Structure 1
């Protein structure tokens, strides 16, 4: 309400919260804090180098901790980090798993082998049938971005109840190639994939390949591509594929 009346002259929310915290902790003085160093004299080459070394040592440090360690103003440290060093704080990107150097080298070698095969066999990728599993939930909760809507200045902010993730889920197995879906099926509710279930799925996949990809079935030129889950890399699965002369693309 104050912001609607005073507009840009109103104190920002962040500053209001900061002063509220200070008064709650016992502060009585309303004057600004005295600064031992001004921003114009703090952004020296020596201080920039000190900040660079500290940030490289621990990239999770906050501006407040860096300023306290160097005895500098927080605004100066912020400008050094963002303007002089060109850094910005970002969240870590979530990955399915982190690979070590040997795993990275192995994946690079596999990719190089595929590129070499493509030079002599341009139709290689057209003969690959890829398979994977995924959990399918009964419903997906609406994300915060999906709930965005236009609001007039005088209307209250819309509200929505927090929705938990669906506990009802089934596993979907799909095999596809460059032309589309080859085979797909749902597991019974609550059942997960293991080597025994996967072997039965592969038997049904062979029937689908014979029916939908006759040219690949007749000369047995198709390649199976799946990840290295324990159910996929089990000894019984490898023996099953080898016994039927099914080539597996790494």
Structure 2
């Protein structure tokens, strides 16, 4: 008796079925002959008959396609049509896409979108505000002027820059989960615990100005007040005094004040439009 071939590949079994059927053997005879070589449990009689019927109907491929032995429905034309629909509406859902391609399943559509077309669903990024063409032109002009001055003055120009910004500071600064980490054994009985706390929602705005050497001025806004033109001018006066005391000769040489146009430090001028503090000022610009 010949040796039994253990764990044959499915494509091997189907190839033998196709060969024997081509010789004119019946499905029952094919199953008996193969049972002597591959063992009685290599394939059920019903499955062998099903493959005989498939090859008789004209199937030539002995490999599985699209899972469960079915031929794959993914074609180049289908991929192109799905890609066209995706480009028309980037916020589509697989369910909505399914209504346009009912001939394929949702799982196939998801596979086409993520694997064939390599699309990924990304969220929009938050930005501080939408810049107008005037804002963009002003920023470009300032940037070009700064580059020209750096080219002409080099490191001295960088030393003359004073910049500032605002930030909200909470009255309570809770410890983060990462900050609470400790080195311990995994089987330690006294593992650290962190309890939920109710923190004070009060906060205050801090305005900070600094240059290449360090911080020049830190101010905290009084509760119940807002930043107006008068308040900001007073801040600039205090900044001038701070530069005068901490950086001897800096005002005489000239100060380049850079400030952006985020919401906390914008105000309306006489025409009602917002003024952007981004430019260069000599000592005379903050005299009074």
Determine which structure has greater relative contact order: mean sequence separation of CA pairs < 8 Å that are 6+ residues apart, divided by chain length.
Answer: 1
CA contact (8 A) 2:161 2:256 kept: yes
Gaps of 5+ in 2: 1-65, 188-192
Give the Cα–Cα distance (whole angstroms) in 2 for the partners of residues 226 and 191 of structure 1: 21
* 3-state DSSP of counterpart to 2:207: strand
TM-score under structure 2 normalisation? Answer: 0.58
Q: 1:76 Cα deviation (Å)?
A: 1.6
Give the Cα–Cα distance (whole angstroms) in 2 for the partners of residues 70 and 167 of structure 1: 51
Q: 1:235 Cα deviation (Å)?
A: 4.8
- Residues 42/108 of structure 1: CA separation in 2 closer, same or farther (3 Å cut): farther
1:100-143 deviations in Å (ceiling 9; x for gaps): 55544543343233222211121322211112222211124566
Q: Does 1:68 align with 2:99?
A: yes
Q: Does 1:108 align with 2:127?
A: no
CA contact (8 A) 2:166 2:264 kept: no
TM-score under structure 1 normalisation? Answer: 0.66
Instruction: Name the residue aligned to 1:17.
Output: none
Aligned pairs (5 A) from 1:1-250: 41-71=72-102, 72-100=104-132, 103-122=135-154, 123-140=156-173, 161=196, 166-217=200-251, 219-228=252-261, 235=269, 245-246=284-285
Count matched residues. 204
Give the Cα–Cα distance (whole angstroms) in 1 for the partners of residues 169 and 96 of structure 2: 45
* 3-state DSSP of counterpart to 2:249: helix
- Residues 92/124 of structure 1: CA separation in 2 closer, same or farther (3 Å cut): same
Q: 1:146 Cα deviation (Å)?
A: 7.0
* 3-state DSSP of counterpart to 2:208: strand
Gaps of 5+ in 1: 1-37
Q: 1:182 Cα deviation (Å)?
A: 0.7
Give the Cα–Cα distance (whole angstroms) in 2 for the partners of residues 194 and 101 of structure 1: 25
Give the Cα–Cα distance (whole angstroms) in 1 for the partners of residues 249 and 164 of structure 2: 19
Q: 1:195 Cα deviation (Å)?
A: 1.2
After the TM superposition, list the runs of 4 or more consecutive aligned residues in structure 1 that deviate by more than 6 angstroms: 142-150
Q: 1:84 Cα deviation (Å)?
A: 1.9
Instruction: Name the residue aligned to 1:9.
Output: none
- Residues 109/201 of structure 1: CA separation in 2 closer, same or farther (3 Å cut): closer
Give the Cα–Cα distance (whole angstroms) in 2 for the partners of residues 145 and 44 of structure 1: 49
Give the Cα–Cα distance (whole angstroms) in 2 for the partners of residues 60 and 159 of structure 1: 40
- Residues 242/179 of structure 1: CA separation in 2 closer, same or farther (3 Å cut): closer
